[in-house]
Structure 1
Amino acid sequence: MPALSFSTQIMHLGKDVSDAAYGLVSRAIAPTQGGLLQGQNPAALNNADPIRLWIIQLFIIICFTQLLGLFLSRIRQPRVISEVIGGILLGPTAMGRINGFTNNIFPAQSVYYLNLTANIGLVLFLFVVGMEVDTRIIRRNGRASLAISAVGMVLPFGLGAAVSVPMYALYINESIVSFGNYLLFAGVAMSITAFPVLCRILTECKLLPTAVGTVTLAAGVGNDIVGWILLALTVALVNATTGVMAVYILLCTVGWALVLLFPIKWGLNWLARKTGSFESGPTPFMMTLVLLLVFASAFFTDVIGVHAIFGGFLAGIAMPHEGGFRTALVEKFEDLVTLLFIPIYFALSGLSTNLGLLNRGVDWGYIVLLCVIAFVGKFVGCAATAFFFGFKWREAGAIGTLMSCKGLVELIVLNVGLSAGILDTRIFSMFVVMALVLTFMTTPLTLMFYPPKYHVYLADGHLPGPTHRHSEAEAAHPTPRATTFNSVTGTTATRGEEQLKSRFAVVLSKMEHLPALMTLTQLLQPPPTGPATAFDNTRASSIDESEKDSTTKQNTGRMLSVPVLSTTPVRATTISPHTPPVRIDALRLIELTERASALFKASVTDELVRSDPLVNIFRTYGHLNRIPISASVSVVNYDSFPSSVNHHVQDHASELVIIPWGPQSMGSSVLEQATTGASGTTTYSGPLSSLFSSPTSTSAPDGPQSLLYSQFARRVFAEAPSDVALFIDRGLSPSETAGGYGQHIFFPFFGGPDDRAALALVVQLCAHPAISATVIRVTKSDEPTEVDLQTPAATHLSDNIRDNIASTLNAGMTLQSTHFPDTVYGQNTTQVQLASSAADDIAWETFARPSGETAPRSPFIEEALTRVNFSSLTSSQPLRVLVQRAHQEERESGSWKTLVVVVGRGRRLATESHHAELAQLLSEHGRETSINPDVRKTIGDVATAFAVSGSRASLLIMQSAEAR
């Protein structure tokens, strides 16, 4: 027995050892992954690893909503419409009716993972919404916005409470939801305004800088804050077991809000200054701290019985305003939130929306009643209040319509009510339809009440008094306010041949435009006051290299506006009493995108005027050059850039609008700067390259962008109510950065309104002692002249540059926009041509004749004409001759002066057509073909000739308002 027992024990021990060994081996073997190659279904839900199905759901949601957005954006609907409709279509209303779709793509268990992702995104989205709320807007716009906001909540709240009585009796289970909670929730759902969607509609309708947009934005901020407070009260009442507990929840919420808005906000300001986050954006430490604060706030509001989204909203309000800190935070959060999390949230809303349940006539009757009550309550309350405060009926109607917008915030409110048990699926679906209808109709109704021709724009964003607004007739037909300065009498007068411009409007849209504007600002700066030392042209041309080097060393580090003076005394210059006071009004254009940060910038343009780096740099440069510069900011869609320029010109009575075109914005591959290699071939590079580069060429990657800017310039040419100048800056070559100063202007005068305006501007620019000019009156002959025989043929381009030009011109139709709007000219009759030709003779005689042979001129003009050399040219090929003369002027100017070629655009009433000669000029440079029509239409034939010839000079292309 003992022996048997021993053997049994041995057997048991061996079995235990084998089991243990098998267990160790089993643990060492990796479990089966169930991949696609093993026949597993990738869409099958695995609770231990749900990432596969989550990614499939994500792709379906985002692609579906984006495709809908492409269509709905064309009818000017906000993105929230496509997201909500996409969610509804993916739910049981449409796609859910497909057999197996919901069970395989959106099974019930997977909704928990989507819900977690959506709620994380919702907290971050409400954090962004909180940062968009700026209470300073309310304080700045006073009683009107507060009154509109208050009445716009009280009236729809009362109507919503009234309609909740029959709906509660018909749809709500009394044992689950109390009447008081449902009444309060229905009132909030009717009275709330979707502030983020409202801001988007205001910007797309170009209403933010108007009186309507300003007061609506302020009223929307107040409405948003009160709406969230009421919603928090509703959720607190639902979650509280007793009335006393509800009071405790509200007190805790108020206490947490005070903690965030005062000590925590002060601490964030202090840390942001210490870490340099105001100057260079949030540091990683500040971003970590902000993220922890957002989710800590969401956690606190959730555990005390209020939804977590309120914590995110309060954290957003607590973020500092200074230094663009909020805008930088929004830029870091918005793409992830709006492109990923929010579509998931609305897909979940769609899964909870079943329009198939609304299968009774009474259901649709109540939907119509909800839409009417929600719109009428907002529209009547807000519009009547606005009309009481002095707004016209069109403005009041637009304010009432805008305040009725529901959109994103309404859907969040409804989802909170659904999750809190206040609404069931049927009532939730009815309210969703109401929100969609009101959001969809906001934009078209606003445009119907308040079309662009009635817009009243504000210069400072403040609400004007009744006496400061135009009447509707004045708004519909604005009167041009441009004035001109008569150099003979020293007073403002109507258009004439000797009028000088004093108010200039410049366009700032990119950093690379600053060099061009600084160069042109230097040209426009007034001459020194009192006795001054003028720049000696003779001395500059004859100074030897040793003197040049010593002068360069003495002036190292000085600004460009400080002239290099010769060592010999020259004639002193005094300013004329009739000198026009030069003023520049800069317009900073910022493209409005779909990002929330762009909307945030659009709502705080008054801060951008003070903080934008481009504006500050240009304003400082103007101060150093003694030119007063005012600035304004416009945040609009790219297509609205020309109209913003036109409004700016009208509001500031500008006489000339200047469009800069810097080297970086035009490319850097061919056709501007010329250098001769060892083989004798000439290569070109510079800003005009991308206009002539093929879209498939790797040497000009920004060609399409240059074409867009070209079309923008052409629209300004077509629509601006004043003279327009397109300044193409070639930049500075290395030899010119060695200390050269001054500009020499080369201007061929062909005739026509554009050339006459250019002639007057050239004379005005030459009033500065550092600027000289060569003005040539050109006459085209039928037969070759002696000048033609003496002018050498153009230098040929190298083979690779010639092939680049050829491929570009052959692909010109790919880039051009044949239907793009251009300047619409009046009828070009023989009588008009004769009058224009007579005006050309008068303009030329006014400036070119000696002072004793013409009418008395002002001292200002006489001083300027001493630096202008007038001559005449008769040629059968004037463009080729002028190009050679321009190269000669460049060589004679040397490094002491840069060359600026001024030309008239010559699109109407030009004395000669240059089409044939332009084609011949291209042939001389290596390829006989036609130029890109879009380029020719933008800058004109004469400027195109200088561009394709490889001239190193900057180009100033003038178009007169008289030409339209």
Structure 2
Amino acid sequence: MEATHKFVCQDDLVNPLSSMGMQVACILVISHFFHILLKALGQPGPIAQILAGLVLGPSGLSNITEIKEFFFQASAAEYYEMFGFFCRILFMFLFGLEMDFAYVRRNLRVVCIVAYGGAFLASLFGLTASFFIYKHLLAENAKLNGSFVFCTMLLVSYTSSPVVNRLAAELRFATSDIGRLATSSAMVVELTCLLVFNLIIAFTRLTALRDGFFILLGLVPMLFAFKYLAVWLNKRNRKQKYLRNPEVLLILSILIAGSMLIEMAMFNSVIACFVAGLAFPKEGKTARTLLHKLTYSVHNFVLPVYFGYIGFQFDASHLKSLTNILIIVILVLLSLGSKISGTLAVCHFLKIPLNEGVFLGFVLNLKGHADLLFVGSASKALITWNPAAYNLLLITVVINTVISGPVVALLMRREEKLFTHTHTSLGFEPENPDQNELRLLACVYGPRHISAILSVIATIRGTQTASIMPYMAHLIELNQKRRTNVSYHELEAEEMSDEEDYGGNDVLEIHAAVDAFTAETQILINLNKAVSTLSNLHEEVCNAAEDLRATIILLPFHKHQRIDGKMESGKDAVRTTNQKILRHAPSSVGMIVEKGLAGALGFSQLFTVDIMQHVATLFFGGPDDREAIAWSTRIANHPRVNLTVVRFLPTESSNTRNMKVENEMGGNSDIEVYMALSSLETGNDIDNAFLNDFYNGYVASGKVGYVEKQVNNGAETVAALRDIGDLYSLFIVGRGGRGHSPLTTELSDWEECPELGTVGDLLASSDFNINGSILVVQQHRNSKKELVDD
């Protein structure tokens, strides 16, 4: 990059820097004004920022002579390019850190087909367009070479992943299935286009060997340095929640140094920065600090300036000619039509609905910074651009993004069903539930709750290869009014301080427990903090679950067990919040009650010990109990769990013969399991059909044990529960929804905590001594009628 070499060799140092700083400030201010106006129309932030660049650029205020002389100085272009270089380093490194690589790996075929399908057809149109541009825009003596053709093809087929990611975050479709497919496909297209562009540069020069050495010299040591530096920094200063600023500066300095070595070889370092972020160790406070620091600065400063700079390239003076206007219209239609047609074709092949294909086509047509590289100074070694061709291609890039962004927002409003929260309960998956990704939101109020919650996460994952996306929210009650009129450095100091008011030392203990859990299980947990008043704390949880499209919400019980075995109440705020979440949750909810004899090895230590845990799922009937069985199908696949389903039936249904089934689970072949053949003829038909499928899928194969208990009333139910109280380290039970069952109605006489349901409340009672924790499951309520607890 020429700017890298020239940046430190300029005579007019102060004026270009001051003009660049003023330009950046103006873009931020004007974009904020546009954002306020366009937000009411449902338009995302990037569109407002591009419009700010249009207003400030040659088509707007820069038409005024004084402003133009201030912003467009002799060497200002090199400074703008250098500033863009640092911006690209930061946001590509951040996107690598945030990249959901597990999703891409699981869906690699679909992602690549969608990405390359649209890009391939667009590149063919770009091939045709290259001859058209050569004939009408380039000088007559300009020679049409292969490099020009390839750059034009890349320009048309390229998709900007920063624009797509930011648009997805603004419009809140990043966590939906179609949104994840769009962002992943955009990243694949961008990296491929940049790789092809770098290869074109390499093959047109005779210094490929030297350049390859510089690339390896920049990338390989950077990856090794990050790997060992992250481990060392995680172990250093354990009492700190985040890294100190000098330590962050050290990491970013290594990143910039490696990128500049690659740039000195006249290659683009975007891919290297992304790979560095992708390979960076995600566990521990090092990655947590980088995400915390970079997310704010990149999303609120770097990307707005980057989008504004895209709009700043628009020069309306080239639209005075009717020929130029027709050329731009043709190029825009070619780009839009080819990308959408190619995407629709592959979506038809993949049997993706038409409306989703149209949405993907417009999303993948968003352009960005690499287009400026394809026609900018990075391609000067390949092509001598005609100023008219250069400016018209830049205008095409801007118009493509300005058109596609609002269309994507419009499609989102018209096709709300594509982005609604649909996976609100697990349901029963008889074949293999581990094949589907499980998204869950776990809530903790303090360090006391962390162990049991983490154990549930480790257990419900199932097998080690199962896909899970866990999020954890540290819920903190806001006791005082938050400061609003603070500057950024004051806010940062308040948020980054280890002595902060919100969370205090609890945050350190929670982070330490999560880091240890990740190191032990390799399950990466995204940890966040929710600070709100007591009356609104449940809204924070419900909104987060809906935005994250979580299938499960995990809550801790407000009571904890003392050394003498009695249950002691904690804060009333915990119980109040739990009750509100149960009423308004947008997904299924599980509440964990941690119990066990003092000093005994309980369920909460599951992920730290290598010992088989015995888990029982209690089934009385109803939707909540069926959801508990659905949770159990995932838990049964855990290598350290021996699961048994215990069904309670009225004694009147036992007048037929029983069949003895041997439990085939390893180490427990001597346990006899009894199943009443008549059970499918009694009770609720839905429950019977559900259990029939479950029995055929899990019990018959020996994965799960099955026991039936014959009882007449609540007293006999209590006696049966006492008999099995010492056999299991975890009891899973539905909250309610059983109607007026004679097996549980009498238990309500002792009910203390209705949020646990009749059976869960009995098991959690201080007077009911069992040697296991309790997981109470509530299925997602779809209507107000279902909100009534039976």
Q: TM-score range by the shorter chain?
A: 0.5 to 0.7
Contact 1:302-1:308 at 8 Å conserved across structures: yes
**In terms of Rg, which structure is larger?**
1
Q: 1:297 aligns with which of 251, 255, 258?
A: 258
Q: Which amino acid aligns with 2:223?
A: K
Structure 2 CA distance for aligned equivalents of residues 648 and 116 of structure 1: 36
2:327 matched to which residue of 1? 366
Residue 265 (str. 1) matches residue 223 (str. 2): yes
Q: Which amino acid aligns with 1:64?
A: I
Aligned residues: 536
Q: 1:299 to 1:902 in 2, by over 3 A?
A: closer
1:434 matched to which residue of 2? 400
Residue 857 (str. 1) matches residue 714 (str. 2): yes
Equivalent position SS for 2:395: helix
Q: 1:329 deviation in Å?
A: 2.8
Deviation string for 1:525-552 (max 9, x for gaps)? xxxxxxxxxxxxxxxxxxxxxxxxxxxx
Contact 1:123-1:309 at 8 Å conserved across structures: yes
Deviation string for 1:551-596 (max 9, x for gaps)? xxxxxxxxxxxxxxxxxxxxxxxxxxxxxxxxxx9974669xxxxx
Q: For residues 6-21 of structure 1, what are the structure 2 equivalents within 5 Å?
A: none
Structure 2 CA distance for aligned equivalents of residues 516 and 310 of structure 1: 41
Contact 1:294-1:311 at 8 Å conserved across structures: no
Residue 642 (str. 1) matches residue 542 (str. 2): yes
Q: 1:352 deviation in Å?
A: 3.7
Structure 1 CA distance for aligned equivalents of residues 255 and 452 of structure 2: 48
Q: For residues 275-354 of structure 1, what are the structure 2 equivalents within 5 Å?
A: 275-276=233-234, 287-307=248-268, 312-313=273-274, 315-316=276-277, 319-321=280-282, 323=284, 325-326=286-287, 328-345=289-306, 347-354=308-315
Equivalent position SS for 1:193: coil
Q: 1:184 aligns with which of 123, 135, 150?
A: 150
Relative to the length of structure 2, the TM-score reads: 0.54
Q: 1:87 to 1:660 in 2, by over 3 A?
A: farther
2:131 matched to which residue of 1? 165
Q: 1:512 aligns with which of 438, 445, 453?
A: 445
Structure 2 CA distance for aligned equivalents of residues 411 and 636 of structure 1: 39
Runs of 5+ consecutive residues of structure 1 not aligned to the other structure: 1-44, 238-242, 471-504, 523-584, 592-611, 622-629, 663-684, 690-705, 728-756, 758-853, 866-898, 906-957
Structure 1 CA distance for aligned equivalents of residues 324 and 218 of structure 2: 44
1:813 matched to which residue of 2? none
Relative to the length of structure 1, the TM-score reads: 0.45
1:128 matched to which residue of 2? 94
Structure 1 CA distance for aligned equivalents of residues 558 and 64 of structure 2: 56
Contact 1:66-1:82 at 8 Å conserved across structures: yes
Contact 1:118-1:345 at 8 Å conserved across structures: yes
Q: 1:150 aligns with which of 112, 116, 123?
A: 116
2:36 matched to which residue of 1? 70
2:26 matched to which residue of 1? 60
Equivalent position SS for 2:445: helix
Q: 1:355 aligns with which of 295, 313, 316?
A: 316
1:88 matched to which residue of 2? 54
Q: Which amino acid aligns with 2:83?
A: T
Equivalent position SS for 1:451: helix
Q: 1:108 deviation in Å?
A: 5.0
Contact 1:418-1:428 at 8 Å conserved across structures: no
1:895 matched to which residue of 2? none
Deviation string for 1:60-108 (max 9, x for gaps)? 2321122223334444544332222211110121112345332356555
1:381 matched to which residue of 2? 342
Q: 1:456 deviation in Å?
A: 5.9
Q: 1:138 aligns with which of 104, 108, 124?
A: 104
Q: 1:391 to 1:121 in 2, by over 3 A?
A: closer
Q: For residues 109-124 of structure 1, what are the structure 2 equivalents within 5 Å?
A: 113-124=79-90
Q: 2:194 aligns with which of 210, 228, 247?
A: 228
Contact 2:425-2:588 at 8 Å conserved across structures: no
Structure 2 CA distance for aligned equivalents of residues 130 and 660 of structure 1: 37
Q: 1:163 deviation in Å?
A: 1.7
Q: Which amino acid aligns with 1:90?
A: L
Contact 1:508-1:614 at 8 Å conserved across structures: no
Deviation string for 1:743-800 (max 9, x for gaps)? xxxxxxxxxxxxxx9xxxxxxxxxxxxxxxxxxxxxxxxxxxxxxxxxxxxxxxxxxx
Structure 1 CA distance for aligned equivalents of residues 122 and 446 of structure 2: 50
Q: Which amino acid aligns with 1:961?
A: E
2:682 matched to which residue of 1? none
Q: 1:226 deviation in Å?
A: 0.5
Q: 1:615 to 1:397 in 2, by over 3 A?
A: farther
Structure 1 CA distance for aligned equivalents of residues 76 and 524 of structure 2: 54
Sequence identity (%): 15
Contact 2:217-2:261 at 8 Å conserved across structures: no
Q: 1:355 to 1:209 in 2, by over 3 A?
A: same
Structure 2 CA distance for aligned equivalents of residues 341 and 395 of structure 1: 30
Equivalent position SS for 1:172: coil
Q: Which amino acid aligns with 1:122?
A: R
Q: Which amino acid aligns with 2:116?
A: A
Q: 1:397 to 1:161 in 2, by over 3 A?
A: same
Structure 1 CA distance for aligned equivalents of residues 253 and 526 of structure 2: 35
Aligned-residue Cα RMSD (Å) equals 5.8
Structure 2 CA distance for aligned equivalents of residues 465 and 435 of structure 1: 44
Residue 717 (str. 1) matches residue 574 (str. 2): no
Q: Which amino acid aligns with 2:193?
A: G
Deviation string for 1:100-149 (max 9, x for gaps)? 33235655565554554343333433443454556554333232222222
Q: Which amino acid aligns with 2:341?
A: V
Contact 1:220-1:403 at 8 Å conserved across structures: yes
Q: 1:961 aligns with which of 783, 786, 789?
A: 786
Q: 1:318 to 1:720 in 2, by over 3 A?
A: closer
Q: For residues 554-593 of structure 1, what are the structure 2 equivalents within 5 Å?
A: 588=471
Equivalent position SS for 1:436: helix
Structure 2 CA distance for aligned equivalents of residues 722 and 468 of structure 1: 18
Q: 1:298 deviation in Å?
A: 3.1
Q: For residues 417-428 of structure 1, what are the structure 2 equivalents within 5 Å?
A: 422=385, 423-428=389-394
Q: 1:184 deviation in Å?
A: 1.3
Equivalent position SS for 1:424: helix
Structure 2 CA distance for aligned equivalents of residues 277 and 172 of structure 1: 59
Q: Which amino acid aligns with 2:345?
A: A
Q: 1:512 deviation in Å?
A: 2.9
Structure 1 CA distance for aligned equivalents of residues 557 and 362 of structure 2: 39
Equivalent position SS for 2:366: coil
Q: 1:428 to 1:633 in 2, by over 3 A?
A: closer
Equivalent position SS for 2:33: helix
Q: Which amino acid aligns with 1:357?
A: H
Contact 2:311-2:398 at 8 Å conserved across structures: no
Q: 1:233 deviation in Å?
A: 3.6
Contact 1:91-1:354 at 8 Å conserved across structures: yes
Q: 1:631 to 1:900 in 2, by over 3 A?
A: farther
Contact 1:661-1:726 at 8 Å conserved across structures: no
Structure 1 CA distance for aligned equivalents of residues 269 and 514 of structure 2: 46
Contact 1:232-1:306 at 8 Å conserved across structures: yes
Q: Which amino acid aligns with 1:220?
A: A
Structure 1 CA distance for aligned equivalents of residues 83 and 716 of structure 2: 75
Deviation string for 1:172-208 (max 9, x for gaps)? 2355674433321121122122223323444555555
Structure 2 CA distance for aligned equivalents of residues 161 and 210 of structure 1: 34
Structure 1 CA distance for aligned equivalents of residues 70 and 352 of structure 2: 56
Structure 1 CA distance for aligned equivalents of residues 321 and 424 of structure 2: 50
Structure 1 CA distance for aligned equivalents of residues 286 and 140 of structure 2: 48
Q: 1:617 to 1:283 in 2, by over 3 A?
A: closer
